[in-house]
Chains A and B, each alone.
Chain A
Amino acid sequence: MDSVTTPGTLNIPQIIRSETRLRETTYRLIISQLFYDGHQQLAVSLSNLLQTSPPCPPSDRLTHIVRLGLKAEEELEQTRKASIVVSDNVQDIGLDFDYQSDSPITSPDAGSYETFYVTAHKAPCRAAAFDATGSIIATGSADASIKILDVDRMLIKNNFGLDYAPSSIESSLDNHPVMRTLYDHADEVTCLDFHPYDPILASGSRDYTIKFFEYAKPTTKKSFRSISEVDQIRCLNFHPSGDWLVVGTQHPVTRLYDVETGRCFVSTQPQDQHTKAITCVKWASNGRQYATSSKDGSFKIWDGVTNRCINTFDGAHGGEEVCSVMFTKNSKYLLTSGKDSQVRLWELSTARCLIHYTGAGTLAKQEHRATCVFNHTEDYILYPDEKATSLCCWNSRNAERQRLLGLGHNAPVKCIVHSPTAAAFVTCSDDHRARFWCKRTLFTD
């Protein structure tokens, strides 16, 4: 090892332990490699920029190390694969910039989706949710009702019913896509979320209550439990275990509810809280943290165990209200949208904005909130444009804009939810309608 001969350099464990030293070593290796490969100019300019001392000798070591590293990675991967008994879809790693980013995109972009089913409420539709398997959808409306829709039935209906005799089909109740309609709230249903494991739907409303429905029971009309709040509920989200519920209301204090007992907890530090109403709240899928966004223009990352605020991003969208947050599946990145019609991707480990997705809201400034989502593979980002009522779509890795998709709504689309498992999403609009969109080739025979 040349670490012994060169003064000032450290042994390997020391380097690995310290992040900055690791970086420094990496840069030095890069410069050495450049020298070695004959890119003199680049190497000199880089070493000037980084002010490396002592100067780096030309060396092939980096190539060598990369070779070793790739091999080790492969082995690691194999052992990991072998160790997991039931693995999820292996290629489904989602968005992660630490791994190869040049893999071809297999999922369809927004332009190729089609409307499969439309359901109408009696008032603006403002909330929707997919269950964990992507087979059930719930939509909530300002008319205080919740509809539960079955994805498979919608697909069957579309595939068979519409092709032959759409008018002559008697909508027998058993086979209707709308499984249930729940009227238990007294005011607008503002948010919905499915329990990750059990067939339970949680809904929050402006009537100051959170209600839990056992939607799988055919007799369900009313909630089997409810938590009464003292303010309008704006957003809620289940902990990945389904045992906890974090709730955002018109009041700036973030509440954490124990679903079992209905007890409420807050952070021990009052200064952790937002200063205005909370607009969105989401758990990371690993349960280690959750994020809240607020009207005060900031979003916060909270520790999932201690319920303390870890980080606050003030003025994340130029001081405008932050409308939605969404974690990537690996919980490393956070996607936010704001009333400045921009979507940003944040790296949480370094607390910085990685990618800026622009181009929405060019017609006019948006007035209402709008959510942005990843598609199921996290290759694309979908965001409804308020004035154009079309769907903006970006490649999540390089922020390249894709084809627009006209949504066919007559009013602003305030909510969009993508299925966690398949190429399908739901848009909710103020024109009272919720549309179910799907990629056709996937399901047709």
Chain B
Amino acid sequence: MAQAYDFALEKIGMDVYSYNIWNDYIIFLKSVEAVGSDAENKKITAVRKVYQKGIMTPMTNVELLWKDYCTYEMGINPMLGKKIIDERSREFLNVKRVTKEFETLVRTIDRNIPCIPPTIPQTADEIKQITAWRKFISWERLNPLKTEDILLVIRRVVLAYEQGLLCLGYHADLWYEVCAYLEQTSHGYSERGDAQLSKRFLDDAAILYERAIQTYMRSNMLIHFAYADFEEQRLNIDKARSIYNRLLDINEANLKDPTLAYIQAMRFERRTDGIKSARTLFKRAREDIRTNHQIYVAAALMEYYCTKDNNIAFNIFNLGLKKYNQNLDYILAYIDYMTHLNEDHNARVLFERILSPNNSIFKQLQPTIWNEFLKFESQVGDLQSIKKVEKRRLKIYSDLNELEGRETLLLVDRYKFLNLLPCSIDELKLLGCKDLSNINLSSTNTSVLTNGSIVNGTTLLEQAVRDRRAILPRPDIKHMMPFRPTRKPLPGSHPTPGGAFPLPDTALYLVKVLPPARNFEGPFVIIDELMERVTRITIPDSFDPIRFSIQGEVIRDLDSSNTNTSQQNRKIGHGDSDDEEQQAPLNVSERSTMDIYRQRQQKRVKLTKTNSTDQLQSLQRIATMTCFEDLSGEILMIIFEYMDVEDLWTIFFNMNTRFNTLVFDSRLRLTANISKIDKTKFDQFCLSLFQTNCNNIFILILSNNYYRYPQIRQFLFHTTFMYFQSLYSLILIDINYDELMKITNQIKQLSNLNHLHVNTHEIYHDKQLMNITQELFNQPNIHVLGLDFHEKIQWYDIKTISLSNIEVLSLNFINIDRLFLLLPCCPHLRSLSMTLDSRCNSLITNDNSESLSQSTITYPQITSLRFYFRSFNISALQRLLNALPSLKRFSIDTLMYKEDYIRASFWTLLLQQRLPLLERVRLVLRGFFGLESNEKINENRKNFIGGYQYDQYWLDRAHKKIFTCYTNDTSMVLQIR
């Protein structure tokens, strides 16, 4: 049993996957019953031996074996075991390293592929396998274990080869390599004098050769020849002969054409036995029907070269010619031989014999022979014979209908030598030469063949990959648009949303190279002024060459008159008197060049003089014409301010640098009415607003109303009002309480915010309403406040409002009492506009005394009043007018039912008494006419209304002003401006 294991390990113990066997063996050895200490010791040594051998072998899981071994040693004798392990561990580390390499090499090898003849177009897999095996074998040959034991290396290499041959048995090169390797090693040993080893390896090689020719390489002549040579070298002549015999054996039908084998065998026989036995072999070959004409050539040449006997060779050739008189190759070989013999006569005879009419050689083949003949004649014959041969050749060509009048070409044939030609290649092409290209091609072809034979599998594979990669269609950027994905691109920066155009490559490079923009600190060109200069410039009639002197002064050389030059000299002297000496010669040379220049210019001026006036006029015309972009920046900015910010950016942003600077000019005050943008656009816009330049936003309108989405919330989500430092006016539509509170907190920071208008349909609780109004009134910066809550404003506790800065106030629904409570808090109020709630009338009548006392306080600062009276109330109006004595502008819109109030005299009296300073009046009286029947209206209308038109008071007021008074079905309007 142990022997069997030993044998197995001897044979395949070096394999990478041999762990199983090693392990099994050890287990087996351990399991052997050992009785007595002697047997025990024996067992231990045996196990240790196997272990030590095993761990010296690179294979997978060698670590496991090592571990087992360690535990085993420690189990037997801890002290001694430790020592042994320490000794061994260094070697083991080496083995472990080798194992790693080993595994990586072996991994790609598939040992299970069947050994089949290789297909001629090699598949990728096969190529991979072969390269993997080769890599593995060459690795083994490099002695990866770095061991001193050369025998081990050889064993390993041979094992690798043998394993490879199991899968790649049809690869002759592997067989040859392994045998050559063995031969080489044996050579090494024999040189060292180790006859036994060298013999062993030679025997091994012989066995391998034998195996090869018995199995896969049965029909491979190469291996046979190699084997025969090998045996011949070992002086085993009989063995070698038997190899040849086996190869030539007719029964072995695997060799289709044994001619080459015969030739080699003949040569072998000549070497070993002399020419005699070679001749017998030739005889045998002649009898073998499978042989070809080459055998004759070989035999004849052998006779010629070895025995130096012309006659025998000649006879053999003639013999062959009988058999192969149709075979061009043979004939050519024969001719070659004959010409080299330098026997002109015999050669001519041969030619004539071959080309004689009774030799039925194919006509198509004849020209080549004729060519040879011609070559021969042109070398040795006289001109006469050359001409003769040529003529005959021409005849053949014409017989073959291949001539087509190309006699010249044939002439070329006569004169060419090797690859030297009597005319250039282009000329030959013109002559329509075909042979030439063939010649050239064939020469290149052979060279390609020799190159190609070197190409091995991997390069082929790489080549194929490269080819496949090269023929793949590729994206063509000419058909595409460059794109730079951008998080929040400005609207319209690329046709495809979500990106912008990248800079061109060269520009990108420039941008990368340039220092950052913030490093640039002027000077800045004021483009507007520059443009203005340009437009104002008067183009002179004549051309003045202008040059700058070294000092940067303008040199004007109007004429070559001395006055000018002297003046110029003086100027220079003025500028830099110290350098005058150095300057002078320079100037002289300058002037001389200048003179030529000026002369030319004058010529040109003369030529163009006739046209110059016309040109001037057209230039002026162009200057007066204005395009949009010719407008000055200020005007453009004013135009911009009339535009909506979104349109502005879509149109002008990124158009050119000038417009960019204008669009971003800090003086520009833009109105951003984003209340009517739909949702998708809004997000984008909001962020671009935030990103680019929110400092230009002067008026901002936000609304929750349009498109029904919470725009204000979105806005607050995306950005904050802090960024809008130049915001002047803010209009909020349909805002709810929370948002409004948030905004009021934010806008405290905005120093420029002056105008706030809130118009909302949202429902506020009383408490909320109170809070928010107080907040708003307490804003220190806001001077104009519009509150449109669509609900009555309630103040529970008016005291919380500190003195407000509001100057213009617009309110919706307030009753007169609360108004009077509010007014003291707004000392700066100039203008008031409101809807006065008349429902509070009851309150006033109840508390008449208090209200009267209140009304004694007057507010002379309020000069403008505009209000809407729900239902007319004379007492409330009177109170109001009492409190506001210095009104200049007065507008009232009221609903009234009493005829008296409509009369002109009523209003005349009221306003005369209260407001003598009144400048502008607007009275809108409604509701009256709808209540009564048509006849009565028509009756009364004139009486009531007509009064206004003729009332002297109104006409006086209207002096030099616009006075309108008109009526329609529901209302009457009186207006004085």
A residues in contact (CB < 8 Å) with B: 81-82, 84-90, 152-153, 156, 160-161, 164-165, 168-170, 172, 174-175, 197, 229-231, 239-244, 249, 251-253, 255-256, 258, 263-268, 270, 273, 286-288, 304-308, 445
Contacts and interface: CB of A to CB of B under 8 A. Distances in A.
**Interface footprint category on B:** 35 or more
19 contacts: A81-B121, A85-B121, A87-B121, A88-B124, A89-B123, A89-B124, A90-B123, A152-B107, A152-B108, A172-B63, A175-B100, A231-B498, A240-B469, A252-B498, A264-B483, A265-B481, A270-B497, A306-B479, A307-B475
Nearest to A287: B472
Interface string B70-109: 0000000000000000000000000000001001000110
B483 A266 contact: yes
A264 B475 contact: no
Contacts, number: 137
Given A87-B123, A251-B498, A304-B474, 7 more contacts: A88-B124, A89-B125, A152-B108, A239-B475, A256-B475, A267-B496, A308-B479
Interface of B: 17, 19, 60-61, 63-64, 67, 100, 103, 107-108, 111-112, 121-125, 127, 460-461, 463-465, 469, 472-477, 479-487, 495-499, 502
Given A160-B61, A286-B473, A86 B486 contact: no
A307 B480 CA distance: 7
B123 A86 contact: yes
Contacts of B464: 85-86
A252 B499 CA distance: 11
A244 B480 contact: no
A208 B484 CA distance: 14
A156 B109 CA distance: 13
B479 to A, nearest CB: 4
A288 to B, nearest CB: 5
Contacts of A240: 469, 472
B460 A85 contact: yes
A286 B474 CA distance: 10
A256 B480 CA distance: 9
Nearest to B17: A445
Contacts of B495: 270
A88 B122 CA distance: 9
A156 B108 CA distance: 12
B107 A86 contact: no
Nearest to B60: A160
A82 B121 contact: yes
B449 to A, nearest CB: 15
A196 to B, nearest CB: 8
A229 B465 contact: no
Contacts of B473: 286-288, 304-305
Nearest to B478: A306
Contacts of B125: 89
Contacts of A164: 61, 64
Contacts of A249: 485
A283 to B, nearest CB: 10
Contacts of B122: 86
Contact of B469 (A90, A197, A251): A197
A265 to B, nearest CB: 4
Contacts of B108: 152
Contact of A306 (B107, B123, B127, B480): B480
B483 A265 contact: yes
- Report whether over half of chain A's contact residues are helix, strand or loop; otherwise say mixed: loop
A306 B476 contact: yes
Contact of B127 (A86, A165, A268, A304): A86
B502 A264 contact: yes
A375 to B, nearest CB: 18
Contacts of A307: 475, 479-480
Contacts of A152: 107-108
Nearest to A421: B125
A90 B123 CA distance: 9
A305 B485 contact: no
Contacts of B61: 160-161, 164
B483 A174 contact: no
Contacts of B60: 156, 160
A216 to B, nearest CB: 13
Contacts of A304: 473-475
Contacts of A264: 482-485, 499, 502
B338 to A, nearest CB: 41
Contacts of A266: 480-481, 483, 496, 499
A244 B475 contact: yes
Contacts of B487: 230-231
B493 to A, nearest CB: 12
A218 to B, nearest CB: 13
B465 A230 contact: no
A241 B472 CA distance: 7
B121 A86 contact: yes
Given A197-B465, A231-B485, A88 B474 contact: no
Nearest to A83: B121
A270 B67 CA distance: 68
Contacts of A86: 121-124, 127, 460-461, 463-464
A305 B103 CA distance: 44
A267 B472 contact: no
Nearest to B464: A86
Nearest to B61: A160
Contacts of B483: 253, 255, 264-266
A229 B486 CA distance: 8
A255 B499 CA distance: 10
A116 to B, nearest CB: 15
Given A87-B121, A255-B483, A265-B480, A270 B496 contact: yes
A167 to B, nearest CB: 12
Closest A-B pairs by Cβ, 5 of them:
A306-B479, A265-B480, A86-B464, A287-B472, A266-B483
A240 B60 CA distance: 37
Contacts of B481: 265-268
Contacts of B127: 86
Contacts of A265: 475, 477, 480-483
A279 to B, nearest CB: 17
Contacts of B475: 239, 244, 256, 265, 304-307
Contact of B482 (A153, A263, A287, A306): A263
Contact of A263 (B103, B461, B463, B502): B502
B474 A273 contact: no
B100 A174 contact: yes
A255 B485 contact: yes
Given A251-B485, A264-B485, A305 B496 contact: no
A253 B497 contact: yes
Nearest to A165: B64
A429 B947 CA distance: 92
Contacts of A168: 64, 67
Contacts of A229: 485
Nearest to B120: A82
B616 to A, nearest CB: 47
Contacts of B484: 264
Nearest to A243: B474
Contacts of A174: 100
A268 B107 contact: no
B442 to A, nearest CB: 22
B238 to A, nearest CB: 44
B469 A241 contact: yes
Contact of A268 (B19, B103, B461, B479): B479
B221 to A, nearest CB: 25
Contacts of A244: 474-475
A152 B103 CA distance: 10
A187 to B, nearest CB: 16
A170 to B, nearest CB: 7
A329 to B, nearest CB: 13
B884 to A, nearest CB: 60
Nearest to B128: A133
A104 B132 CA distance: 32
B522 to A, nearest CB: 33
